[in-house]
Amino acid sequence: MIPVPARVARSGSEYEDTIPALRYIEFQRDLQPPRSALIVDADESIRELLQSVLEVGGFEVRAVDDGEHAIAELEAHRPDLLITNLALQNMSGNELMGYVRADRTLAGIPIMVVSGHLDVIRLDHEPDGVIHKPFDAQELLACARQLVDRSADAA
């Protein structure tokens, strides 16, 4: 059975429709090559939901709640994809993108921003992909796969 955070699965949640999409995605996971992702989001329920979607889609996922932990995780385990929210503690997602782009060893990691604040926050660094909250699980997974595949083709 697919792990879905209880706060997400409750009736009336803006992500309630994600559960059937996760079941649809689940059967495709074995057809994909192994991939890894780092999720950075201060909201635990969103982190868990993103992690569930990506794991069901065949990704190995690590998840942290702030920019400082993200940098430590990026340096310890270089992922195929970085997914970040813009509103983080102790470092914004914008600053995190700047750090990754400026570091020679991390600069090639594709970055996806998943945020509900894209209309009010100016981005100083261009992400490779953008998903608006609330998000569609299939759209998020398709974007993640596309970014990782494009990065692999460029390497």
Q: What is the pLDDT of residues 45-75, one digit of tens each?
A: 999 999 999 998 889 999 999 999 999 999 9
Model pLDDT for residues 15-34, shown as the tens digit of each residue: 666 656 665 555 555 556 67
Domain segments of the chain as ranges = 34-154
Percent of the chain at pLDDT exceeding 70: 76
- Supply the mean pLDDT for the chain: 85
User: What is the pLDDT, as a whole number, of residue 22?
Assistant: 61
- Domain 34-154: CATH superfamily, name plus number: Response regulator (3.40.50.2300)
User: What is the pLDDT, as a whole number, of residue 1?
Assistant: 45
User: What is the pLDDT, as a whole number, of residue 71?
Assistant: 97
Residue 146 has pLDDT above 60, yes or no: yes
Query: Could you give the dihedral angle defined by the CA atoms of residues 132, 127, 87 and 63, in that order, rounded to the nearest 10 degrees?
Result: 90
Tell if the pTM clears 0.85, that is, is over it.
no
Confidence band of 154 (pLDDT split at 50, 70, 90): confident
